[in-house]
């Protein structure tokens, strides 16, 4: 997209009159002062060129034998990444010397004066190209990495995303309100980052996992429409799309129902991507809506990537009574047998199919039943000898299989079947290159179960969070059959990533207490941890709901990057370490003493 033209004030308010990247034919004849980094230098003996770079782009500086001796002497010493200031005249380039590959390629600067503002050591990796560099090295010299075009592009994109969100919500009456970073621990959910209190020995603040409670209290406070681009903290192990601190668009509205929040969020994100990434193709508008159950049945995933098909098919009804114990056993135990048709993978070797089997095993499945149909219609299948031929045909029909296809089945509990096939589906997406990277596929997933049973902890866990309201018609189920109640929750999914989720909240003390009780919080514990919420709900709390969206993930997808570190200026590595500054680090014993903290050495 075309950025705002940067015009520097004339008369020496800054060290430059123009940015390098903004110069065009209109500027021909003007005397300009530029400042930036030496991108490249091409010394031809007589004539020398410098590509001068700043944030806005590149421009070519020409030094002729007719240029001043002083200038030529300085130019000889220049090296890449030196910071220089140049004064010169903008000339039109002769016709055969234009460079269409850069925006300023029609012009060049005839050097009059040059000043070295700061020399540079040879950087540890090249700044002037986008070659791959070991990520640890990039992180260690992040300030240099951020100078490279990829990161400049990503940081700019991120700015445009947050700027768009702010403008959009401002226009609709939202107030941006900051909430505390030092708050109260909530042992439910993720692990908290704790901050010791110096003035209160033995007591700790916690960094917020999200501003959830505070934004609800802002609704109690009559704010009605709130948002924040908020930093959130979770002390859990990292992934490519998870960092210990990350940024959420957090918003909350009073006097709304589920549809109101969904409509707002859908409009926000649709217009966001249409504005910020106009060349990306939006798969569908309005967004498809999937119930949680439909999402699992079709994609084996509650955050489905709907850019490609490869949908799951249930064959339980077919294989029941087939005599094949692996299939029958799963069904008898309450599970199912489902499969996907990996179109065009029928020629996979034994070795490749074994690879797929190993893959599903890492996701809990016992194994993978396969039916490979070669291009000349020959069927290879380890289960062929266990099932009748007409059943095999029926299964092939159900999966709409053709020569050249590979059918893959998992028989297990529904939970395992969904997980294994859902992940296998994504694995095949990458292996078979089934998606167009330019497409953006949003969808809604809703009608989540209100709670899910945690077998290990022998208790009900919230599928969203503690403050989500159940569907009104399902409230009666909370006592009788909590597992069947649905929550007033909705998730935004983009290209297989959950980029946002929200709910209508509970706004009455009675219902909130009931929810706490269901979730195994004893009244006195609930009072200790969330007394302020319960109390607030007694003072005329409006019905309210909202949504939160992971800005890092959104930017990652819009930037086409493989992980969120690429859209965070100073991210931490997989081990949650800042390798540039060296955080976390040991602290002075004096500091610990002041905080009333003693270190316990690791045992063993």
Residue numbers at the binding site for RNA (CB under 7 A): 40, 42-47, 49, 51, 60, 62, 64-65, 79-80, 93-94, 96-99, 101-102, 105, 108, 122, 124-126, 129, 131-137, 139, 189-191, 209-210, 234, 236-240, 242, 302, 362-363, 423, 448, 456, 463-465, 498, 501, 548, 550, 563, 573-575, 577, 579
- Could you tell me the smallest distance in angstroms from the CB atom of residue 90 to RNA? 12
CA 460 to chain centre: 28
- Could you tell me the smallest distance in angstroms from the CB atom of residue 324 to RNA? 27
Beta carbons within 10 angstroms of residue 327's beta carbon: 26
Q: What is the Cα–Cα distance from 432 to 409, expressed in whole angstroms?
A: 18
- Could you tell me the smallest distance in angstroms from the CB atom of residue 126 to RNA? 6
User: To 10 degrees, the CA torsion angle through 145, 146, 148, 154?
Assistant: 130
What separation in angstroms does the CA of 216 have from each of 209, 221, 355? 15, 9, 48
Q: Which is nearer to RNA, 234 or 343 (CB)?
A: 234
- Could you tell me the smallest distance in angstroms from the CB atom of residue 48 to RNA? 8
Strand partners, 548: 250, 501
- Could you tell me the smallest distance in angstroms from the CB atom of residue 10 to RNA? 26
Q: Which is nearer to RNA, 8 or 193 (CB)?
A: 193
Tokens 């208790």 -> residue:
459
Q: Which is nearer to RNA, 60 or 322 (CB)?
A: 60
The burial of 239, by beta-carbon neighbours within 10 Å (0-12 exposed, 13-18 middle, 19 or more buried), is given as: exposed
- Could you tell me the smallest distance in angstroms from the CB atom of residue 426 to RNA? 9
Q: What is the Cα–Cα distance from 366 to 225, expressed in whole angstroms?
A: 49
- Could you tell me the smallest distance in angstroms from the CB atom of residue 33 to RNA? 20
Q: Which is nearer to RNA, 296 or 399 (CB)?
A: 296
Q: What is the Cα–Cα distance from 224 to 327, expressed in whole angstroms?
A: 54
Tokens 């090295």 -> residue:
137
Q: Which is nearer to RNA, 107 or 353 (CB)?
A: 107
Q: Which is nearer to RNA, 301 or 513 (CB)?
A: 301
Q: Which is nearer to RNA, 88 or 550 (CB)?
A: 550
Question: 488-526 as b/e, with b when 16 or more CB fall inside 10 Å?
Answer: bbbbbbbbbbbbbbbbbbbbebebbbbbbebbebeeeeb
- Could you tell me the smallest distance in angstroms from the CB atom of residue 138 to RNA? 8
- Is the Cα torsion angle 62, 68, 72, 78 positive or negative in sign? negative
Q: Which is nearer to RNA, 103 or 592 (CB)?
A: 103
Q: Which residues contact 539 (CB under 8 A, 6 or more apart)?
A: 220
Q: What is the Cα–Cα distance from 237 to 491, expressed in whole angstroms?
A: 23
Q: Which is nearer to RNA, 79 or 393 (CB)?
A: 79
Strand order in the sheet with 225-233: 175-176, 225-233, 245-254, 544-550, 497-504, 489-494, 442-446, 289-291
Looking at residue 191, the DSSP 8-state letter turns out to be: P
Q: What is the Cα–Cα distance from 132 to 155, expressed in whole angstroms?
A: 19
- Could you tell me the smallest distance in angstroms from the CB atom of residue 106 to RNA? 10
Q: Which is nearer to RNA, 166 or 577 (CB)?
A: 577
Q: Which is nearer to RNA, 351 or 590 (CB)?
A: 351
- Could you tell me the smallest distance in angstroms from the CB atom of residue 470 to RNA? 14
- Could you tell me the smallest distance in angstroms from the CB atom of residue 552 to RNA? 11
Residues in the chain: 604
Q: Is 201 helix (H, G, I), strand (E, B) or coil?
A: coil
In the structure encoding, which two tokens stand for residue 571, read together? 């991210």
- Could you tell me the smallest distance in angstroms from the CB atom of residue 38 to RNA? 9
Q: What is the Cα–Cα distance from 341 to 315, expressed in whole angstroms?
A: 12
Are 109 and 32 a contacting pair, CB within 8 Å?
A: yes
Q: What is the Cα–Cα distance from 571 to 553, expressed in whole angstroms?
A: 13
Q: Which is nearer to RNA, 60 or 381 (CB)?
A: 60
Strand partners, 183: 206
């Amino acid at each position: 997209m075309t950025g705002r033209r940067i015009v520097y004030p004339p008369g020496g308010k800054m060290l430059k009159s123009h940015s390098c990247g903004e110069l065009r034919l209109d500027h021909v004849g003007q005397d300009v002062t530029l400042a930036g980094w030496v991108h490249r230098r091409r010394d031809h003996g007589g004539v020398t060129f410098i590509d001068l770079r700043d944030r806005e782009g590149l421009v070519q500086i020409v030094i002729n034998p007719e240029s001043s001796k002083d200038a030529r002497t300085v130019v000889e010493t220049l090296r890449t990444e030196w910071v220089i200031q140049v004064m010169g005249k903008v000339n039109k380039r002769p016709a055969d010397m234009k460079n269409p590959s850069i925006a300023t390629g029609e012009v060049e600067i005839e050097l009059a004066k040059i000043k070295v503002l700061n020399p540079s050591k040879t950087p540890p990796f090249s700044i002037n190209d986008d070659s791959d560099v070991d990520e640890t090295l990039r992180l260690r010299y992040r300030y240099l990495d951020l100078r490279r075009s990829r990161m400049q592009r990503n940081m700019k994109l991120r700015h445009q995303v947050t700027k768009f969100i702010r403008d959009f919500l401002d226009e609709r009456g939202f107030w941006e309100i900051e909430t505390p970073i030092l708050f109260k621990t909530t042992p439910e959910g993720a692990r908290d980052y704790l901050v010791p209190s110096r003035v209160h020995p033995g007591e700790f603040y916690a960094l917020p996992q999200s501003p959830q409670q505070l934004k609800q209290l802002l609704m109690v406070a009559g704010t009605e429409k709130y948002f924040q681009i908020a930093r959130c903290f979770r002390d859990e192990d990292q992934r490519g799309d998870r960092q210990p601190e990350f940024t959420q668009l957090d918003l909350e509205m009073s006097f709304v129902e589920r549809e109101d929040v969904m409509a707002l969020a859908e409009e926000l994100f649709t217009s966001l991507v249409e504005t910020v990434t106009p060349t990306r193709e939006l798969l569908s508008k309005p967004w498809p809506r999937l119930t949680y159950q439909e999402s699992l049945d079709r994609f084996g995933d509650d955050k489905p990537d709907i850019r490609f098909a490869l949908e799951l098919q249930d064959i339980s009804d077919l294989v029941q009574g087939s005599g094949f114990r692996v299939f029958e056993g799963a069904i008898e135990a309450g599970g199912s047998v489902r499969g996907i048709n990996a179109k065009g993978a029928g020629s996979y070797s034994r070795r490749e199919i074994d690879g797929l089997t190993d893959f599903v095993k890492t996701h809990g499945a016992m194994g993978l039943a396969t039916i490979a149909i070669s291009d000349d219609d020959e069927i290879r299948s380890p289960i062929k000898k266990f099932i009748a031929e007409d059943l095999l045909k029926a299964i092939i029909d159900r999966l709409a299989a053709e020569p050249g296809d590979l059918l893959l089945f998992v028989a297990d509990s529904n939970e395992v079947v969904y997980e294994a096939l859902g992940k296998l589906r994504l694995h095949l997406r990458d292996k078979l290159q089934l998606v167009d990277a330019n497409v953006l596929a949003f969808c809604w997933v809703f009608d989540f179960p209100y709670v899910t049973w945690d077998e290990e902890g022998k208790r009900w866990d919230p599928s969203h969070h503690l403050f989500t309201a159940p569907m009104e018609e399902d409230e009666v189920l909370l006592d009788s059959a909590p597992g069947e109640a649905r929550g007033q929750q909705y998730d935004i999914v983009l290209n297989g990533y959950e980029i946002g989720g929200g709910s209508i909240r509970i706004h009455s003390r009675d219902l909130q207490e009931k929810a706490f009780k269901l979730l195994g919080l004893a009244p006195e514990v609930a009072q200790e941890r969330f007394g302020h919420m319960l109390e607030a709900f007694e003072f005329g709390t409006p019905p309210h709901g909202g949504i939160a969206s992971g800005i890092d993930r959104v930017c990652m997808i819009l930037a086409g990057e493989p992980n969120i570190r690429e859209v965070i200026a100073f991210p931490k590595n997989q081990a949650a370490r800042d390798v540039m500054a060296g955080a976390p680090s040991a602290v002075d014993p004096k500091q610990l003493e002041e905080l009333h903290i003693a270190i316990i050495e690791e045992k063993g």
